[in-house]
Amino acid sequence: MKKLSHFNKKGQARMVDVSGKPLTLREAVATGSVHMKKQTLKLITDKKISKGDVFETARLAGIMSAKRTSDLIPLCHPLAIASVSLDFTINKKNNKIDIEAQVKNTGQTGVEMETLMAVSVAALTIYDMCKAVDRGIVISDIMLMEKRGGKSGVWKR
């Protein structure tokens, strides 16, 4: 069975050494959902026809947070992110918003954490913009859907 790679033999936390790895193209996709009251979802969708909207703010927050991932996750490597995009889908039936983020880089390690960070911060931004009307919003199902590139290759949920 495998070990937790972020600890050395003495059980101490460390940043895993990627110095010998080649620069390769890598990509990850992650998703998450924001569950809210029916009326809150309506407020957001009504806003969409106006100039600013909740999704545009959450999208930018998600993109910017992906670039800050190594500042926040202690043992995460700093990466030169090559692209970030986020999509929001309104699920009226289940009163939720589904978020999907995709991040790419050319580097010595992959962008799974950056992609999950983008989803998480986009979800928190939606919470922030709606909390005055709906404090009970729940963020769930933040998970990696797919990753490509690097030694371990393709992984799909």
Tokens representing 9 are 């033999």
**Range 40-59, binding a second copy (CB under 8 A):** 43-44, 47-48, 50-57, 59
Residue choice 29, 79, 97, 99 for contact with a second copy (CB under 8 A) = 79
Looking at residues 87 to 126 of the shown chain, list those that interact with a second copy (rule: CB under 8 A).
87, 104-108, 112-113, 116-117, 120-121, 123-125
In the residue annotation, 46 being an active-site residue is answered as no
CB of 154 to a second copy, least distance (A): 11
| Cα distance between residue 77 and residue 85, in whole Å | 20
Binding flag, residue 154, a second copy (CB under 8 A): no
Question: Minimum CB separation from a second copy for residue 20, in Å?
Answer: 7
Q: Which of 53, 128, 134, 141 is catalytic?
A: 128
**First-to-last C-alpha distance (Å) of the chain:** 21
Minimal CA–CA distance to 107: which of 70, 65, 75, 149?
A: 149
Answer yes or no: are the C-beta atoms of 86 and 100 closer than 8 Å: yes
Count other Cβ atoms within 10 Å, centred on residue 53.
Answer: 17
Active site residues: 128
